[in-house]
Amino acid sequence: MIFAFSTSSPIVSIAVFNEGGDVLFSGELESKQEASNACLQLLAKSGFSVLEGSLFLADLGPGSFTGTRVGVTLAKTLAWSADAVCSGVSAFDLISTQKTVVFPSKRGEWFIRPPGSEVSRSASLPELEFIGFGPGIDNPVYPHAKMFAPLLGSLEQIQPEQLAPLYLIDPSISQPKQPLSRVEGIV
């Protein structure tokens, strides 16, 4: 069995496929800050044992920093438990591979990916037709784990430790103005 997770957006989803790529279960929950709990609820609802998994898939982002890491970590951990392999694709591919996809970055910009092109960032939405989600988009389309189905034949299978999130911008953390000094008595 193949288990897939998408946790990079406010809508968390999982899908379970047979080896032929047929969807055996698909579910989603709105979960802005509890992606791990949502995934576990959906796994329980699916009725399938993750120990039967031969491939674990994750939405690599970009998107919610913590949410994306939750999905990647869950896929890696379950793959280790089941002695299986992993793979992943970008959140763009889990929305559409054939249309221009947009969604917001946390910096008030938009990630934009036309089909077959690189991702760009813009302060405004594109003039051309697009799908995606974010403020001001009337009919949002979120990444969904069931969208792995048409991609299954082209995925590179890797060992769990090789699976990593896709980051398109540097983290917004500050660096100390002075390096921290060593404190005596602490090893």
Q: Looking at the structure, do residues 30 and 117 belong to the same domain, yes or no? A: no
Token reading at 109: 């910009």
Residue 155: inside a domain: yes
The pLDDT value given to residue 64? 84
Q: How far apart are CA 103 and CA 145, in angstroms?
A: 17
- Measured at the CA of 145, the angle between CA 46 and CA 84, to 5 degrees, comes to 75
Residue 185: inside a domain: no
Structural domain for 116, as ranges: 96-141
**Which parts of the chain have pLDDT scores under 50?**
187
Q: Looking at the structure, do residues 108 and 50 belong to the same domain, yes or no? A: no
User: Which CATH number is 20's domain given?
Assistant: 3.30.420.40
Bridging pattern class, strands 55-59 and 85-89: parallel
Considering all CA atoms of the chain, what is the largest pairwise distance in Å, rounded to the nearest integer?
Answer: 62
- CB count in 10 Å sphere of residue 19: 10
Token reading at 115: 């089909």
The pLDDT value given to residue 176? 59
Q: Looking at the structure, do residues 13 and 60 belong to the same domain, yes or no? A: yes
Using DSSP's 3-state secondary structure scheme, residue 129 falls into coil
The pLDDT value given to residue 133? 95
Q: Looking at the structure, do residues 135 and 147 belong to the same domain, yes or no? A: no
The pLDDT value given to residue 90? 95
The pLDDT value given to residue 65? 83
Q: How far apart are CA 47 and CA 182, in angstroms?
A: 52
Which amino acid belongs to residue 114? P
- What pTM was computed for the model? 0.87
- Per-residue model confidence as pLDDT tens digits over 18-29: 999 999 999 999
The pLDDT value given to residue 171? 62
Q: Looking at the structure, do residues 9 and 33 belong to the same domain, yes or no? A: yes
